[in-house]
Amino acid sequence: MKFSLGLAALSGLAAAAPMELVERQTGSTANELSGPCRAVTFIFARGSTETGNLGTIIGPQVSNGLKARYGNNNVATQGVNYAALLTTNFIPNGGDPQGISDMKNQLTTAASKCPNTKIVAGGYSQGAAVTHQAIETLSASVRNRILGVVTFGDTQNLQDGGRIPNYPPANTRIFCALGDPVCVGTLIINGAHLSYTTDAGPA
């Protein structure tokens, strides 16, 4: 399946984005949804025990890639606020209810506050499970506003058959590193599960 967060619907925006002299880098925390509406809104859920609300392994890197492509001032990045504890991986569906609720609220806010923004979303590890649960239980009107979803080290990859229920597979990309046990239904963490930083470009 060919899919990228660099969606065709955003290609004109990329061409029009002005060159910026200093590229701002996204840190482990981002709360830009509270600011002005921007052409693209990126909402991301970090993995278990990661710092901030974006984490460090892949969330900031995907944000930086979007901003490099479309322009810093054209992308609003928002992290999902939840505890990201190890223990919540073991509840049904593998996602913290607080994170699911917050991500749904963030997506709903983006859709209602910014009717013209292009919404993209994603998650890593437990954050991928949060993303599955948030998107599949959204109202259809909000879910239809999401142009693309990307997950990394997806703890629900096997359980949900390599897709997000109630969301188009063509608009979904799930990155599973070779040798990552999490992607085949276990919660064993190894080096492969921590290797997704280099996938920001392909995403």
User: Which residues are marked as active site?
Assistant: 125, 180, 193
Residues 132 and 100: their CA atoms lie apart, in Å, by 9
Q: Which pair of structure tokens corresponds to residue 161?
A: 């058959």
Number of H helices, E strands in the chain: 5, 5
Whole-angstrom Cα distance, residue 156 to residue 151?
10
- Helix then strand then coil, in percent of the chain rounded to 5, is 40, 15, 45
- CA-based angle 182:188:189, to the nearest 5? 85
Looking at residue 118, its amino acid is K
Q: What residues contact residue 19 under an 8 Å CB cut-off, 6+ apart?
A: none
Q: Which residue has the tokens 């054209």?
A: 74
